[in-house]
Amino acid sequence: MSFTETEIPGLILYEPKVWEDERGYFFESFNEKLFKKAGIDRPFVQDNQALSSYGILRGLHYQVEPFAQAKLVRAIEGEVLDMVVDLRESSPTHGEWYGVHLSGENKLELFVPRGFAHGYLVLSERALFSYKCDNFYSKKHEAGIIFNDPTLNIDWEMDLKNIVLSEKDGFLPKFGKHRKFKTG
């Protein structure tokens, strides 16, 4: 098992130890003691799961206080390009993005602290995506940033004409016009 802090402070990639044999595999996708030891001390209160097909992009979403959420995300099946944007105004990496391939094959997980917009793009025929949240969903506190904001210049690794969005995600505001995430 390894926890690796990315270039963006607080954003941690988790690679579980996987035991495989002719019957299949086993791994711990979450162990409170290990995660606490790695500095991830969040009381997860809600698990979500989504099934999507190739080219579907969900995001970039977040919630503002008092319903901001930290998330532990992974792809159970298939492959996604998981993407986050640092919205923490006091952060030296404010406005920077980070992307990682999460798949059922690599079993990587990403811990996304509060203060980040999050989204993912399905790269396989279909993907089953799971995320644990440390706060409950609140429609009144949901917010987002348009995926193709030219200021952010995110590399989605796909021709943007092939991306499929929900109607809501197609009308999210640009980075400078989004609901501000305030810390503290």
Q: Give the chain's domain count.
A: 1
Instruction: Please report the pLDDT score of residue 182 as a whole number.
Output: 60
Residue 184 has pLDDT above 80, yes or no: no
102: in domain: yes
pLDDT tens digits for 136-159? 999 999 999 999 999 999 999 999
Active site residue 131: yes
Residue 183 has pLDDT above 60, yes or no: no
Report pTM: 0.93
For all residues of the chain together, what is the average pLDDT? 94
List the end-to-end C-alpha distance of the chain, in Å, as a whole number. 32
184: in domain: no
Cβ-proximal residues to 118 (8 Å cutoff; 6+ apart), any chain? 59, 60, 61, 62, 71, 73, 82, 83, 84, 112
Active site residue 61: yes
Exactly one of 14, 61, 62, 98 is catalytic; name it: 61
51: in domain: yes
Residue 53 has pLDDT above 50, yes or no: yes
Residue-number span of the structural domain to which 170 is assigned: 43-177
* Higher local confidence (pLDDT), 183 or 109: 109
Query: Which CATH number is 144's domain given?
Result: 2.60.120.10
Instruction: Please report the pLDDT score of residue 64 as a whole number.
Output: 94
Instruction: Please report the pLDDT score of residue 66 as a whole number.
Output: 94
Using pLDDT thresholds of 50, 70 and 90, give the confidence band for residue 50: very high
33: in domain: no
Exactly one of 118, 120, 131, 178 is catalytic; name it: 131
Instruction: Please report the pLDDT score of residue 179 as a whole number.
Output: 67
3: in domain: no
Using pLDDT thresholds of 50, 70 and 90, give the confidence band for residue 45: very high
98: in domain: yes
As a whole number, mean pLDDT of residues 43-68 equals: 96
**What's the per-residue H, E or C state across 67-121?**
CCCCEEEEEEECEEEEEEEECCCCCCCCCCEEEEEEECCCCCEEEECCCEEEEEE
16: in domain: no
155: in domain: yes
Q: Across-strand partners of 127? A: 52
pLDDT tens digits for 57-76? 999 999 999 999 999 999 99
